Amino acid sequence: MVLLAPPAVRRTSRAWALVRLTRPWFWPLGWAAAYLGAVLATRSWLPPADATPRWAAALVVLGPLVWGAVLAGNDRYDLPSDRRNPRKATAPLVTGVLTEADLARWQHRYEVAAVLVALLIGPVFAAGTVAVLVLGRLYSAPPVRLKARPGADVAVNAVVVGVLAPLAGWALHRPVAEYPVALAALGVLLAAALYLPTTVLDVAADALAGDTTAAVRWSPRWCRRLGLGLWVAATALWLACCHLDLLVTRDSWTVQTAVAPVLVVAYAMAVRRPTIARMAAVCLVFAVPALDFLWAWVNAVRP
């Protein structure tokens, strides 16, 4: 005999599953990148008072709405591999708490809500939001399914996280065309380097499900090496921007010089056996030179 949970328990379980679907622990990634872009645009640690309503709306879009839309689609189309992946054993769709129809419905709701709120901020912000949502669909949904196209999977994540996310914060204050090209290139390199090891985490499940991700096609070892190469290139570009005064004029870049080898070693150690926690730790190490650079940006002048 099958015992069914009381209706109130089932409703609570579904509500919690819908919250988990948006991965609240990922929201700060979008917020931090947008904050970086805003500091670059305003040369101030805090946004102007008259921008507070726009920022409140942007936090909603860049947090639960965009993440909810993208991840609902991702979970929906990743079901074959998630069923084979111990890391996803408690995912709402795998456990049956939510159905594929639920995810399709909520993905649509999140997408509509994200665009409507973004329109309240402005047409440029709304256009960027639509671009991210379209890329999210192309990444997960067949027949395109860029996630299963090695190289394209890396490029999509690199552009969204490394360029569009900080550009969202920048666009709240300044024209998009004025965003520094060097920082866009740096963002792409960093985001690609951080994404590649994540493909290694699920390589076995992806291979069994027939998803030819970067790690499946190129092997985990090659992905780790490529990631390290991109990370070293990003670090070199970062140091060049600092010491050649390409973005900010400053007498000394001691922190950047001292932390650069630490960044490379930390990344190399983390990707030997990559986990989400270890990659997050690498991001925390990177926060040290990032904050030092922002301090110089806020308090100095460009050449």
One-character DSSP codes across 1-16: -PPPPPHHHHHHHHHH
Say which residue, 200 or 302, is predicted with more confidence: 200
How much is the average pLDDT of 194-222? 93
Torsion of CA 176, 162, 293, 126, to 10 degrees: 30
Closest CA to 171 of 50, 41, 55, 294: 41
How much is the average pLDDT of 214-238? 96
3-state helix, strand, coil in the chain (%, to 5): 80, 0, 20
Structure confidence at residue 249 (pLDDT): 87
How much is the average pLDDT of 70-78? 95
Distance of CA 221 to the CA centre of its chain: 23
- Reported as a pLDDT band with limits 50, 70 and 90, residue 251 is confident
- Reported as a pLDDT band with limits 50, 70 and 90, residue 5 is low
Provide the token pair at 144: 């395109």
Is the pLDDT confidence value at 265 over 90? yes
Report the topology of domain 14-299: Farnesyl Diphosphate Synthase (1.10.600)
Say which residue, 135 or 15, is predicted with more confidence: 135
Q: Please give the Cα distance from 217 to 224 (Å, whole number).
A: 13
Helix (H, G, I), strand (E, B) or coil at 301: coil
Is the pLDDT confidence value at 3 over 60? no
Structure confidence at residue 8 (pLDDT): 65
pTM of this structure: 0.91
How much is the average pLDDT of 141-165? 95
Structure confidence at residue 13 (pLDDT): 85
- Reported as a pLDDT band with limits 50, 70 and 90, residue 301 is low
- The 10s digit of each residue's pLDDT in 153-163 is 999 999 999 99
- First-to-last alpha carbon distance for the chain, in angstroms, is 76
Is the pLDDT confidence value at 145 over 90? yes
Instruction: Classify the C-alpha dihedral 59-60-63-67 as positive or negative.
Output: negative
Q: Which residues contact 111 (CB under 8 A, 6 or more apart)?
A: 69, 133
- Reported as a pLDDT band with limits 50, 70 and 90, residue 6 is low
Q: Do 84 and 209 form a contact (C-beta atoms < 8 A)?
A: yes
Taking the domains of the chain in order of start, what are their residue ranges?
A: 14-299
Say which residue, 10 or 204, is predicted with more confidence: 204
Is the pLDDT confidence value at 231 over 60? yes
Structure confidence at residue 47 (pLDDT): 87
Nearest-5° angle of CA 184, CA 25, CA 235? 30
